[in-house]
Amino acid sequence: MSELITKLGIDWKLLLAQAINFGILVYILKRFVYTPIIGVLEKRRQDIADTATKTAEADLRLQDIETEKQKVLSEARNQAKEIVSKAEVMSKKQVEETFKIAEQKANTIIAEGKISLERERSKIKSEIKSEIGSVVAAAVEKTVGDFMNKEAEEKLKAEALAIIHQNAETFI
């Protein structure tokens, strides 16, 4: 075998030295390069797995939050609709009540106006009656004053005034 090695041009001392150097190189690479690189890669794998887990958890939480948000929004919409419907009912009641109060005030004002108008009418009627009475008295006095005595003249005036007062409603 040594002949074969010599014929191939292999120097066994050099081969042994190269094998030792290769072993030392493999040991150094394994100890200082390969192991730390594997550790870094393993740590990176673990970080990626943790990130994926956290992302999945975050997605689940986001879905829960979205579901809760939709639920809260739905409740808020329902409450808003309820508030609006209550406000509409209250405003209708308020409007009806305001109309009733306004109608009552208007009826009161109309009634007071009618009473005031009736008073004014009565006052004017009495003024007209007294005016008509004085005009009739003056007319009677002028027409019969020279022909009748004072007693007959007063009696005639009183009768004329009585007739006027009885029939005043038809004249006025």
Does residue 167 fall inside a structural domain?
no
pLDDT tens digits for range 114-164: 999 999 988 888 888 777 767 766 776 666 655 666 777 677 777 777 777
Give the dihedral of Cα atoms 137, 142, 146, 147; nearest 10 deg: -70
Q: For the chain, how many structural domains are there in total?
A: 1
140 neighbors 164 (Cβ within 8 angstroms): no
Does residue 169 fall inside a structural domain?
no
Residue 45's domain comprises 2-123
Does residue 172 fall inside a structural domain?
no
Does residue 53 fall inside a structural domain?
yes
86 neighbors 94 (Cβ within 8 angstroms): no
pLDDT tens digits for range 17-76: 999 999 999 999 999 999 999 999 999 999 999 999 999 999 999 999 999 999 999 999
Does residue 98 fall inside a structural domain?
yes
Give me the pLDDT at residue 144, please.
65
Q: Which amino acid is at 38?
A: I
pLDDT tens digits for range 6-15: 777 777 788 8
Does residue 23 fall inside a structural domain?
yes
Does residue 28 fall inside a structural domain?
yes
Does residue 154 fall inside a structural domain?
no
